[in-house]
Amino acid sequence: MNTEIHPLEPFLPQNAKILMLGSFPPPKTRWSMEFFYPNWINDMWRIMGHIFFGNKHHFEAKGEKRFDKESVVEFCTQKGIALYDTACEVRRLKENASDKFLEVVNPTDINLLLQQMPQCQAIATTGQKATDTIVANFGCKEPAIGSYETIGIEGKEIRFWRMPSSSRAYPLALEKKALFYHTMLKAEGLL
């Protein structure tokens, strides 16, 4: 079974305060834009629209089933939100977007990403597979959903937040997921 290399470069704005980490992008056939959380039925950008603009449709391209990449990139740059995934190489055990069927072949070097963002004080995982990968990588305790553990990375204390998955497969209403994200974003000074 073939492996897949991550199709996107890490998005690391110089002013990044938080690094949000998923597991790995879905197959390209499910993308609605060439950026992170590209799946039209993933609610990450609806959660952010709801929190920051009071409108879950804020990042949707009008009249189309896609997110507006330019407004998402501008928003993340302005707010200081870096994005990548905990795996840079995976094997898909089934041809879908489910984390359940992803085998991490090569985890991302999180230390290397953080070295490029001197203001970053927190990482937030956006699903169970991403959380498991961080726990395995750093030998730290798994935070409860919506909370954090402090981990030492290269002599720096980093808050490791565990967020609910933005996937619709995760059984929690968008507004309830947004409450967890709101708490984390406020604690990290983005709100």
pLDDT, one tens digit per residue, over 127-141 is: 899 999 999 999 999
Mean pLDDT of the chain: 93
- CB atoms near residue 101 (< 10 Å): 14
**Identity (one letter) of the amino acid at 131?**
T
Residue ranges making up the domain that contains 19: 4-187
Whole-number pLDDT of residue 100: 75
Whole-number pLDDT of residue 93: 82
Q: Extract the tokens encoding 19.
A: 């690094």
Residue keyed to tokens 């980490």 = 21
Q: What is the DSSP string of 1-48?
A: ---EE-SS--B--TT--EEEEES-PPPGGGBSSSSSS-BTTB-HHHHH
- For residue 184, name the pLDDT band (cuts at 50, 70, 90): very high
In this model, does residue 73 exceed pLDDT 80?
yes
- For residue 2, name the pLDDT band (cuts at 50, 70, 90): confident
Beta strands in the chain (DSSP E): 4-5, 18-22, 81-85, 87-92, 102-107, 122-125, 148-153, 156-162
What mean pLDDT is predicted for residues 4-9? 93
In this model, does residue 163 exceed pLDDT 70?
yes
Residue keyed to tokens 């290399």 = 5
What percent of the chain clears pLDDT 70, i.e. is strictly above it?
97
Provide the domain count of the chain. Answer: 1
Whole-number pLDDT of residue 27: 87
In this model, does residue 178 exceed pLDDT 70?
yes
What percent of the chain clears pLDDT 90, i.e. is strictly above it?
79
What mean pLDDT is predicted for residues 80-98? 86
- For residue 102, name the pLDDT band (cuts at 50, 70, 90): confident
Domain CATH code at residue 65: 3.40.470.10
- Answering whether pTM is above 0.75, one says yes
**Least trusted range by pLDDT, from 88-102, 106-120, 150-164, 176-190:** 88-102
What mean pLDDT is predicted for residues 40-52? 96
In this model, does residue 1 exceed pLDDT 90?
no
